[in-house]
Amino acid sequence: MIQDALLLKPKVKYWLDNLLGKYEVIAPVHTGRMIEYVPISRGEDALLEFGTPPLSPKAYFFPKSDLLFTTQSHRGAVTVQPAPVEARERIIFGIRPFDARALLIMDKQLIRQNAVDIYYQARRQRTTLVGIGAHQPDVLDFSVSAGSSPFDEEGLDMLFYDMDKEFYVKVLTEKGKRILDDNFAPAEEHHRKLAREMKQKAEEKAKYELNLERWKRYTPLEIFQLPYWSEVYLPCIECGACTFVCPTTVYSRTVDVEDEGGGGRRVRVWDTPYLERFAVTTEGYNPR
């Protein structure tokens, strides 16, 4: 199911205001330090024109700190209470298409047949993704080389094309269709033609070459053993930033916290395998 529509830019805030009564709305906002995806309380707070934020909205699906369960000890008996699964519907407005595509890669890791992360799955199911295409790709945009695009539709429920005074909107799923309202108007053929041209130009501008072909002749184990790694790691200072900004990684560790009064909780927190002590056991053994 694909249909399209038009939304004048002055009407975006009214549309978002209507959604705020039913959904939690996350949108790009200039927080003073940088552009971040944060919950908004007014439609006018959402940025409509912005560069690609340094952090994707991954943390709204796989939080930096995620409560898994709590425990309570009383007279030698321990009870375990799983953390509640979030239920409120959410919209992420303004996500870049390649960041939405990245979530499909996370799905393969966290929603597998015999290993489903129920918290991640619930957040994915209750979230509607509204993308804004990157018609002016960053100089380091490698989305095309990685099989995506500044106007990639995969993983999105809606995709906005910025046409100066208005947005041309492609409605890609039933989720997207549900959030249409009277603020939208019918699109015409010349809008569709312009959208195709915008996508083509953006993909031509995304010229950062990322040659992945050379790696395909190796198995994963062979890649791990290549002498290449004996040099490329040298500038690394083990800050972990590469993992934390990556929109597809799901590395984590669990931390058990004891509270006063016999209670406790288990929390999953982000981690990175590029730190020397990642996965080290309590006995000091490092399986890596």
Q: Where are the alpha helices (DSSP H) in 146-219?
A: 174-178, 189-205
pLDDT at 35 over 70: yes
pLDDT digit string, tens, across residues 129-169: 999 999 988 888 889 988 899 999 999 999 999 999 999 99
**In whole numbers, what is the pLDDT of the chain averaged over residues?**
91
27 CB-near residues (< 8 Å, 6+ apart): 16, 37, 38, 40, 45, 46, 47, 92, 93, 94
CA dihedral (215, 220, 224, 229) in degrees, to 10, reads 20
DSSP E strand boundaries for 197-272? 252-258, 263-270
What distance in Å separates the CA atoms of residue 207 and residue 72, rounded to the nearest whole number?
56
DSSP letter for each residue of 82-109 = EPPPP---EEEEEE-HHHHHHHHHHHHH
Instruction: Look at phi and psi of residue 240 and say left if phi exceeds 0, alpha if psi is from -120 to 50, else beta.
Output: left
Say what the pTM is: 0.89
Q: Which phi and psi (to 5°) does residue 143 adopt?
A: -60, -40
How far are the Cα atoms of 13, 173, 184, 187 from residue 100, in angstroms, in the given order? 22, 14, 23, 24
pLDDT at 1 over 70: no
pLDDT digit string, tens, across residues 210-236: 887 888 899 989 998 999 888 888 888
| Residue 273: predicted pLDDT | 80
Cβ(132)–Cβ(52) below 8 Å = no
pLDDT digit string, tens, across residues 45-63: 999 999 989 999 999 999 9
Task: Please state at what angle helix 118-125 crosses helix 97-110, rounded to 10 degrees.
Answer: 140
Percent of the chain with pLDDT over 70: 99
Q: Which of 3, 4, 2, 46 is nearest to 23 (CA)?
A: 46
Is the sign of the CA dihedral 274, 276, 280, 285 positive or negative? Answer: positive
What distance in Å separates the CA atoms of residue 102 and residue 88, rounded to the nearest whole number?
23
pLDDT at 185 over 90: yes
